[in-house]
Amino acid sequence: MLGVWVWGLKFNLKRLTSCLGLKLVKRKSKSLVIALIAGSAVLVFAMIVALILTEPKSFLGQNLDLLKNSDGRIVSCELLDVGYSENVECYRLRYQSDGLEVVGFLVKPKQGDIFPAVIFNRGGELEFAKIDNPALAGMSYVASAENCVFVASQYRGNDGGQGREEFGGSDVNDVLNLIPMLESLPFVNPDKIVMWGMSRGGMMTYMVITMTDKIKAACVIGGITDLIQLFNERHDMRPVLIELIGGTPEEIENEYKKRSTYYWPEEINTPVLILHGGADWRVDVSQAEKLASELEELGKTYELVVYPGGSHGLEEHAQDVFSRIFEWFENYLQ
């Protein structure tokens, strides 16, 4: 390319001097020609520098050629210290999703070349229950123990990210766009990607696994399966649901149903492990049970485990929960 520019420069200089009536052999014309050549050379150099500066920068060795578009491209990367730093690296990211810069996190082991990856979908909404240092420390511990990569999104509009959260609307793309990100990273096995969602993140998980076949297995803890039921049972949640979704179930029923896997269980083809606490007051256990009944009738691959007296996050059963989750993942990553 540079050779073409130089050839064009010489050709255009000859035409320019001809148009100006200049004679290159004359002494008085030489200084003008030299000035023209020097000025054009500076311009070509500036063009080269501009091209270099506008070339997208790659972080974490991301192969940008593997991305179909800008979705999933990491645009900034900051190393964090949240513990377990002797075994893992934890990064705060900004990545592109639908033309927006969204905040996310990535945790990877220090030792090893290529790993399976877990996409973790957080619960809560807006800034409530966003991924924080304790959550990252937990991911770091599990990434170290299970020798895997974790990646997670704060969802658009949160924690300094661009856009506006929609509680399962277009922000589902913020999860979907983590897939091409992982596929373009040199330390991730693109054929071994699984998903883990909690509460609202469980709702996101159910939605995502109907939109792609690249998730080999999924696990949901305390997940929402019927947003209309949640609206009716959780009066404290009504204002935020109306704000983020745009109305009540009576006003925009379809918007609530498209976020609720209970109304379309036939679309779930990914093996899913459903874990729920029997005493969960945030998302009633009946939401898990009625989805499981539908999946059973349809012959889908799933497992339901209800912990009697268990809480929303099942923290009191953490050891058994982690054991079940990674046994489930391993079964489908062979």
Same domain, 221 and 312: yes
* Within-domain flag for 61: no
Same domain, 323 and 177: yes
Residues 6+ apart with CB under 8 A from 283: 199, 222, 223, 224, 230, 276, 312
Tokens of residue 317, six digits? 């059963």
Side chain identity at residue 258, one-letter code: K
Burial label, 160 (beta-carbon count in 10 A; 0-12, 13-18, 19+): exposed
Same domain, 36 and 92: no
Same domain, 194 and 292: yes
Q: Tell me the residue range of the domain where 7 lies.
A: 2-54
* Domain final position from 33, 54, 75: 54
Question: What gap in Å lies between CA 38 and CA 55, rounded to an integer?
Answer: 26
pLDDT tens digits, the chain, 334 residues: what are they?
Answer: 433 333 333 334 344 344 434 444 445 555 655 655 666 656 656 555 444 445 679 999 999 999 999 999 999 999 999 988 899 999 999 999 999 999 999 999 999 999 999 999 999 999 999 999 999 999 999 999 999 999 999 999 999 999 999 999 999 999 999 999 999 999 999 999 999 999 999 999 999 999 999 999 999 999 999 999 999 999 999 999 999 999 999 999 999 999 999 999 999 999 999 999 999 999 999 999 999 999 999 999 999 999 999 999 999 999 999 999 999 999 999 8
Tokens of residue 278, six digits? 């029997």
Provide the β-strand partners of residue 281.
Answer: none
Task: Say how many domains are in the chain.
Answer: 2
So what's the pLDDT on residue 85?
83
Burial label, 18 (beta-carbon count in 10 A; 0-12, 13-18, 19+): exposed
Provide the β-strand partners of residue 305.
Answer: 275
Same domain, 245 and 162: yes
Same domain, 237 and 92: yes
So what's the pLDDT on residue 197?
98
Same domain, 135 and 211: yes
Same domain, 92 and 123: yes
* Within-domain flag for 59: no
Question: What gap in Å lies between CA 91 and CA 151, rounded to an integer?
Answer: 9
Same domain, 93 and 227: yes
Same domain, 19 and 130: no
Residues 6+ apart with CB under 8 A from 214: 179, 190, 193
Could you give the residue ranges of the DSSP H alpha helices within the chain?
Answer: 2-19, 27-54, 133-146, 172-176, 178-183, 200-208, 227-233, 238-245, 253-257, 285-298, 318-331
So what's the pLDDT on residue 83?
82
* Within-domain flag for 60: no
So what's the pLDDT on residue 7?
36
Please provide the distance, in angstroms rounded to a whole number, between the alpha carbons at the two ends of the chain.
47
CATH of the domain at 77: 3.40.50.1820
- pTM comes to 0.85
Same domain, 167 and 131: yes
* Domain final position from 54, 76, 94: 54
Displacement of CA 276 from its chain's centroid (Å): 25
Cβ-count burial 101-140 (b if 16+ within 10 Å, e if not): bbbbbbbbbeeeeebbbbbbbbbbbbeebbbeeebbebbb
Same domain, 46 and 92: no
